[in-house]
Amino acid sequence: LRAKILTCFIVSTTITLSLLLYLVNRQVQDINIPLTQNLSQQIIDAKAEEIGAWLEERISELRVISINEDFINMDMDKAKPYIRNLNKRLSNEYGNESETFAFSDLDGNAWISDDTTIHIKNREYFVKAINSDKEFVVSNPIISKTDSAPIVIVIYPIRNADGKVVGTIHGAINLSKLSQISSNIKMHGSNAWITDSRGNIFTDVPKDNVKDMSDFDTLISENTGKINIFKMSKYGYKGFESVGKKMLNGQSGIDKIIKPDGKGGIVIYSPIPYSDGWSLGITIPEEKMYADTNRLIHLIIIFSIILLLVSILISLIFTSSIVKPVRKLQMLMKRVENGDLNIHYDGKGHDEIAQLGYSFNSMVDKIRNLIDKVYLQQKEKRKAELKVLESQINPHFLYNTLDTIQWKAIEHDAYDAADMITALSNLFRISLSKGKEIITFGEEIEHVKSYLFIQQERFKDKLKYSINYDESLNNFKVLKLIIQPIVENAINHGIKTKRENGFINISIEKKENDIYIYVKDNGMGIEEGRLKLIKSCLKKGGMEYEDIGYGIFNVNERIQLQFGKNYGVDIDSIYGFGTKATIKIPVIKEGDLLC
């Protein structure tokens, strides 16, 4: 019952918690994942705007220069000192030679300093700047000839009053500055990177925390300037092509890619203002991107498991409170089944189990009363049968007749016959005992001696016996005729069929409040199967079975009717060696009353 209740409770609780866990998990994912994505997108958008603002500062510088009359008039004598001072200021500010300003005419002759002049007429960014209507053009990364550093060139066309391009003003930006800005953008342990208008990743990733770098950051770090967003498949990445197209189209968003290890990755990207097709991006392992969400889900799972375990513990306690009284009632029923009616269910409360216990108590009381009633009826019936049997015998007529026969035997010198008649007279006298059912041990011993004397005359030297007991027991009371039937059974079933001489030993001993009478013989004994049947019948308390013997069961039943199931007859035997009968009765002293 407990297992069924517990199983039902656990299954229902598990199903409920699982459903709740699923719903909470979905709710957390539906809320936290979009929230995480939106926050991450906002961070990247803000950083892209920050980079754009930094670029806009450089462009503003170029815009100011482009409206300078000296540059519009292409007055080289005045323009060169202006550029020279700007470059000196940049060198002092940034500490490198690649951060420079330059200006050029329409033939592409670009002046940087008195010592440095370059020809850029055929360069893509110059051609695009003088032939388009754009306010400015940003080149793809190139290598500076002054210090071999990677740079980008921002070109601002110089227009006259008619809007005609008369020259260009250039600003070189060292990419280490952009790398520094992008590397400071960290999300979930990953670094940001920047792509140009062709999909090339031109910013570097610092190598100071190689152990903590993501696989994508490691790839960029080891292949600076060689990674193109459209060619990531050769490194084992899948899904970057569609990301690259969106980036070149100036879109921002969040896309999923597949990393070389088969795990998912998240790419967050945003266009950089004031650039020519640049985008800021970051690649984050999916497990890190949603680590907080997964951690929350794990906490919910752990909490659910703890809740389930607590529920199971509570159910164990709860089911114990239900099952314990049921098991107690079951145990009491087993005892009743085994014949123990001296029990009582001590239940408390008014629930169904308590009511069942009260009904059980009532049933046991009724059974006990019924058994007592039947017991008394059987006892009275046996007494009545004995009274009828005794009433059929006229003791005075019997004794007078036996006395006459005894004197006739003496007249004819048949003293052996006279002794047998005397023994028979004693046998009948004690058997009848004026209708009394309780006699003294002395009378019971005299009765069995008279019976054995007669049997010795019958079997001659084939039968011998001994009786050993403390004669202080003579005045103790005993149920009459309980030894002789056992002795008779020993003679008829053990010694009678034995060729050798038979011997019967009767011994009596008192142990505390009980008396044990032992009747041993050296007869044929009882076979094992037959002995088990006899012992089983004696234990059940029934009457005789066919070919087993009436006397032994009669004695056993009379004792148990008088004194209860704890008393009676028990048999032990070894086939071929003899039998031992044990009679157990309570001590009954002179003056004790029996019903």
Q: What is the pLDDT of residues 106-134, one digit of tens each?
A: 998 888 877 778 888 888 889 999 998 88
Q: How confident is the model at residue 279 (pLDDT cuts 50, 70, 90)?
A: very high
What lies within 8 Å, CB to CB, of 590 at 6+ separation is 475, 476, 477
Cα–Cα dist 304/448, whole Å: 83
Write down the mean pLDDT value for the chain. 81
Percentage above 70 pLDDT, the chain: 86
pLDDT over 70 at 197, yes or no? yes
Cα–Cα dist 118/120, whole Å: 6
pLDDT over 80 at 260, yes or no? yes
Provide the b/e sequence for 265-293 (b: ≥16 CB within 10 Å).
Answer: bbbbbbbbebbbbbbbbbbbbbebbbeeb
Q: How many other C-beta atoms can be found within 10 angstroms of the C-beta atom of residue 371?
A: 12
**pLDDT tens-digit readout, 504-551:** 999 999 999 999 999 999 999 999 989 998 888 888 765 545 455 678
Query: 317 versus 410: which is more confidently predicted?
Result: 317
- Top CATH class of 436-586 equals alpha beta
Cα–Cα dist 424/228, whole Å: 133
What lies within 8 Å, CB to CB, of 191 at 6+ separation is 182, 183, 185, 205, 206, 213, 214, 217, 220, 282
* pTM of the shown model: 0.51
Provide the b/e sequence for 170-188 (b: ≥16 CB within 10 Å).
Answer: bbbbbbbbbbebbbebebb
Percentage above 90 pLDDT, the chain: 16
Task: Determine phi and psi for 542, rounding to 5 degrees.
Answer: -85, 180
pLDDT over 70 at 78, yes or no? yes
CB 280, CB 272: distance < 8 Å: yes
**pLDDT tens-digit readout, 365-420:** 888 888 878 777 776 766 666 555 555 445 544 555 566 666 666 766 666 776 77
pLDDT on residue 211: 44
**pLDDT tens-digit readout, 441-477:** 999 999 898 888 888 888 877 889 999 999 999 989 9
Task: Using alpha carbons, list the distances in angstroms from residue 412 to 182, 424, 448, 454, 478.
Answer: 150, 19, 28, 20, 39
Where are the chain's structural domains? 306-379, 436-586
Q: Tell me the sheet residues that pair with 104.
A: 110, 168
Please compute the mean of the pLDDT values over residues 543-565 and round it to a whole number: 75
pLDDT over 60 at 496, yes or no? yes
pLDDT over 70 at 589, yes or no? no
**pLDDT tens-digit readout, 26-41:** 777 777 778 888 888 9
Cα–Cα dist 532/119, whole Å: 127
**pLDDT tens-digit readout, 409-439:** 676 666 677 677 777 777 777 776 665 778 8
pLDDT on residue 224: 64
Residue with tokens 């929350």: 296
Cα–Cα dist 258/126, whole Å: 39
**Could you tell me if residue 544 is left (phi over 0), alpha (psi between -120 and 50 degrees) or otherwise beta?**
beta
| Closest by CA position to 134, among listed 276, 322, 248 | 276
Q: Tell me the sheet residues that pair with 580.
A: 520, 572
pLDDT over 70 at 212, yes or no? no
